[in-house]
Amino acid sequence: MRPPLMIFNGSSHPFLGVELSGHLGVSLGKRDLHLFPDGEISLAILEPVQGTPVYVLQSLGIDPNFHLMELFILIDALKRSSAEKVTVILPYYAYARQDRQDRPGSPITAKLLANLLTLAGADRLIVIDLHSEQIEGFFDIPVEHLQSNEVLIPYCKKLQLENVVVVAPDKGGIRIAGIYAKELNAPIALIDKERLNPFEVEMRLFVGNVKDKTVLLVDDMCSTGGTLVNAAKVCSDLGARKIVAAVGHGLLIGKSLEDIENSTIELLITTNTLPVSDQVQSHPKIHVVSIAPLLAEAIQKSI
């Protein structure tokens, strides 16, 4: 009997693949994936997929160039094996911040990636927290854009934070802050950033009041941690009583873990759209919420 769907995962986020397959009650598709001595990727699909809807999971936040090539090869192998439809699940979409020409001669790499995924044979895409919604329009295939706040907001509610104000750490975070504020029935504040020179940024509270409040800083991602840490300092200096942060993608690169530990942020809530390192897992100020149930629900609705 043909299974209702099959899930294959690349090598970028093995734990999430196992977790997702567990939520759906299916086994991960068998494939032989390794490197040749010269570094080229070798792949073979080890079970029949003909006529079956297939989902391919690959997160692109760590070593994105390698994992992109691996993904293209995996899609091609499944299409050549006559899979009915290949849906690509990208919990983290690489190059999303390169979504426009910010200077003459620069590429629009987010659009290029959309073209390459379609050319490789992807029939549909599931993504979480695109850096800008315009990226959806880069595709000629259906895109389902999921929001991490669907798992982060319920966790925030469980914390039973009192006297909350939702703070956007820059103007780009206003839309996300609005969603949290509505769900938590809380006011909004906005921090404004002004770049003084290539190395210095000045931040100040532009709208709202944080004095004696519990601040909930929200953003789509935390990369180096600089924006969140500096925004937390602004709020602390203005008399905030407690500071919690919630972000969809926890890249947490460079000195971010050390800077967060030494900051006025008491708790950073993020998701596992990217692999969770042992350092993140054991960090005293970081809690990771799984997005596997969110992905499983999206897949079940599409069957």
Confidence band for 192, pLDDT divided at 50, 70 and 90 = confident
pLDDT value for 198 = 53
Entry pTM? 0.93
Domain extents in the chain: 6-146+292-302, 149-271
Whether the per-residue pLDDT at 170 is higher than 90: the answer is no
Are 222 and 249 a contacting pair, CB within 8 Å?
Answer: yes
Q: Read off φ and ψ for residue 215, nearest 5 degrees.
A: -90, 130
Mean pLDDT of 197-223: 85
Question: One of 193, 211, 285, 301 is an active-site residue; which one?
Answer: 193
Question: Does 6-146+292-302 match 149-271 in CATH topology?
Answer: yes
Are 214 and 232 a contacting pair, CB within 8 Å?
Answer: no
* pLDDT tens digits, one per residue of 88-142: 999 999 999 999 998 899 999 999 999 999 999 999 999 999 988 889 999 999 9
Write the DSSP string, 231-270.
HHHHHHHTT-SEEEEEEEEE---TTHHHHHHTSS-SEEEE
Beta strands in the chain (DSSP E): 6-9, 31-35, 41-45, 53-57, 85-90, 124-128, 143-146, 164-168, 188-197, 200-207, 214-222, 242-250, 267-271, 286-289
Confidence band for 171, pLDDT divided at 50, 70 and 90 = confident
CATH number of 6-146+292-302: 3.40.50.2020
Whether the per-residue pLDDT at 197 is higher than 80: the answer is no
CATH number of 149-271: 3.40.50.2020
Confidence band for 232, pLDDT divided at 50, 70 and 90 = very high
Whether the per-residue pLDDT at 155 is higher than 80: the answer is yes
pLDDT value for 2 = 63
Residue 79 annotated in active site: no
pLDDT value for 206 = 81
Confidence band for 77, pLDDT divided at 50, 70 and 90 = very high
Confidence band for 222, pLDDT divided at 50, 70 and 90 = very high
